[in-house]
Each structure stands twice: as structure tokens, then as C-alpha cells.
Amino acid sequence: MLKTTALNATHRALQAKMVDFGGWDMPLHYGSQLDEHHAVRRDAGMFDVSHMLSVDLHGEQARQFLRTLVANNIDKSTVPGKALYTCMLNPTGGIIDDLIIYFLSESWFRLVVNAGTADKDLDWIAQQSKQYAPELTITPRRDLAMIAVQGPNARAKVWQIIPDCKADTEELKPFQSVTHGDYFIARTGYTGEDGFEITLPADQAVDFWQKLHAVGVVPAGLGARDTLRLEAGMNLYGQDMDETINPFEAGLGWTVDLKSERDFIGKSALLAKTVNQQLVGLVLLDKGVLRNHQKIITQQTENAGEGEITSGGFSPTLNQSIALARVPLGVAVGEQVYVEVRNKQLAAKIVKYPFVRNGKVLV
């Protein structure tokens, strides 16, 4: 039995093509993934991301616990509302999940974790809290829905339907959030565009979605979410990283704090480990489409082995194929490489990602 969000009937009424996404019945697209992708880049689109889980940590031990639980430094979050992107590591430095932590008050932090890893994360957090923060209260918030509104006009459209929130959110900087009545509004997202991720009581989700739709926000499915996030060079858990990959190999070294004195789970393993691989961007020079797990031949291959595409696909904005790939250290930006596609070797170029940010092509 697939799990459903509060918007399931709404997606079906919009004739969405529904798919099993990690046990959730979710919309892949509502007719054309390409049209939805372009709507987000050019105007505004919305995604039902209620399958992701908010987990509230309440208690005086919350900050101290997060200093141990995650690789990024929660002490960077000093202003209430601040969001922190981080990895949660296992003792060998592998990534259990990537998540956002919102600092709401000294006794209340909110974690937003991936849908597919939510149960595993909850078990892990509960297990660790027994040791490090026994008095902490951990509350999964399945009573909340989450809608991401993304695109250059996304914020203006939200202000059209909740006009009194404009004053609260106009000055909100990227990676900050604010509570506005029943709405928890964060200037975060997964598309490389401006916008909000709005968390609200699940029983208000349909009404809010329909109001957004009425002001021209285009419903967008998981298909467009994937091509947008790939263009934005953002990692996807399970593809670009998992428990066998550490943050440095996943291009997430910038989220790991090794400077502070604090000890976090996985730190000693990261310090002891030699990193041999890096995540890079690829742009296909030949015709075709790059896909996950295709092998990459580089100048380093003879000594250091092949690379592998972790997230490949067609970029609607560039109108050519792009990919994120894990390759040996030493493979440099600008280098031409070859990708094995159906017994052929197609030429591709190593680039610095993101590929697209705020509607602009960067490669």
C-alpha cells in the first residue's frame, strides 16, 4: 500500500501521471515534464514535497545534540529562522542522509529529511539521542504538508495569496525562515531558482495549492524537480551519495566543519580517510543522453580507474545532456572525457557545476 500526501486527490484531479516514489504515490508530471521545468525557470511552479518529513527536536539538549549528530556546525545558526544544510554521517563517515536544520529557538530545532530515508533517520536519531541527549523530545510531524513554490515570480505569487505575509518575508534572505500564523515559510529550494518552501498543516494543503494554482503557479512533478535540481548541481540522496560515500567524495566538503573543536559522528573516520574521488559536472558534446551509472574514461583511467555518472539526464534549459559524475582526483575542469553509452564512446567535457542558477546558464 503506497503512502499518500494530503494532495493525492488533487494530483489525480489534475490528471497527473502518478508513480511509486520510495513507497509514496507521487506525481511524476501533469502532462509535460519539459513544460513544468520551463515554468519554474521562467515564472513559477509548485511541488508537493509533503513526502519529506519534518522532525522537531524539543528540549534544552537540542543544540548540544546537533553538535554531535551532524557534520556541519549548528553553531553557525545564531539567528532564529536560520537554515543549515548538512549531512548526517555514520561512524565510518558515510552519509546516512542530507538534511536541512532550521533553528527556531534554543529549545526547538526542526530537521527536514528525505522521504526515502525518513524511517532510517528517525531510528538513528532516536538511538543516538539515548546516548547523547536522553531528555530530548523527537517528534515526527506527519501532520504537516510541504509545498515548494519556485521560480523568479514565486515569491510575488505567494504574496498575492497571503498578502499579509509580505512584510514578514520580503526581507528574508536565502536560507532563512519565518513563522507566519500556521505557515512556516523558508526561502530555500531545490531548483536553483528563488522561492519558498512552505510547511503548513496538512488539512490546509489543498486550499493553499488551489489558491496558488489560481494565480498561475504551475503544478510541477518529480520529473521536473529532478531535471531542475540536476541543472542546479544539487545532490540527490541515493544517487549522488549514500552510506558508502563521504561528503568529500559527494562534492559536499563545504558542509563539513573540521575547524571547530567539537567531535561529531563520523569525524574521526573523515580525518583518517584518503579521498580519491571527486564530484564534477559533465556536458555531453556528442548527441545523446547521459544516464546514471554510465562509465567515464578519463586521462586518469589507466592509473586511477574509470569514473561513473551519478545523476545524468537531459537539461531542458541547455537543450543538451548534462550529468554529475564521480571521477578520480586530478581530472580537471575543461578536460575532455569519454562516456560509454551503449557500446559507443561519446565525448563530454568536465565543467564546474551548477549548470544553471537563477535562470542563467553558467557552463
Q: φ, ψ for residue 162 (rounded to 5)?
A: -125, 75
Helix axes 205-214 and 154-161, enclosed angle (nearest 10): 110
Q: Is residue 314 at the binding interface for another protein, with CB under 8 A as the rule?
A: yes
Window contacting another protein (CB under 8 A); options: 32-40, 160-168, 178-186, 202-210: 32-40
Query: Which class for 260: exposed (0-12), middle (13-18), buried (19 or more C-beta within 10 A)?
Result: exposed
Q: Any contact of residue 32 with another protein (CB under 8 A)?
A: yes
Least Å distance, CB 220 to another protein, is 13
Closest by CA position to 66, among listed 256, 265, 267, 268: 265
What's the closest the beta carbon of residue 216 comes to another protein, in angstroms? Answer: 22
Beta carbon nearer to another protein, 160 or 292: 292
Interface with another protein: number of residues (CB under 8 A): 17
H/E run at residue 155? helix 154-161
Range 183-242, binding another protein (CB under 8 A) = 223, 227
* Lookup: cell for 66: 546537533
Q: Pairing state of beta strands 295-297 and 307-315?
A: antiparallel
Contact with another protein (CB under 8 A): which of 14, 138, 285, 289? 289
195-201: strand order across its sheet: 177-180, 183-186, 195-201, 144-150, 45-48, 218-219
Binding mask 136-175 for another protein (x = CB under 8 A): ----------------------------------------
CB of 288 to another protein, least distance (A): 6
What distance in Å separates the CA atoms of residue 4 and residue 24, rounded to the nearest whole number? 6
Q: Compute the radius of gyration of the chain from its Cα atoms.
A: 21
Identify the residue among 33, 77, 114, 311 touching another protein (CB under 8 A): 33
Q: How far is the CB of 343 from another protein (least distance, A)?
A: 11
Backbone φ, ψ for residue 6 (5° rounding): -60, -20
Least spacing, CB of residue 37 vs another protein, in Å: 8
∠ CA 351-355-356, rounded to 5°: 160
Q: Is 197 annotated as a binding residue?
A: yes
Q: Which is nearer to another protein, 122 or 289 (CB)?
A: 289
Question: For another protein, which residue of 58, 211, 213, 291 counts as binding (CB under 8 A)?
Answer: 291
Among 45, 219, 233, 313, binds another protein (CB under 8 A): 313
- Cβ 241 vs Cβ 235: under 8 Å: yes
Annotated binding site: 197
Annotated binding site for substrate: 197
Residues that bind another protein (CB under 8 A): 17, 28-29, 32-34, 223, 227, 287-289, 291, 313-314, 316, 321, 342
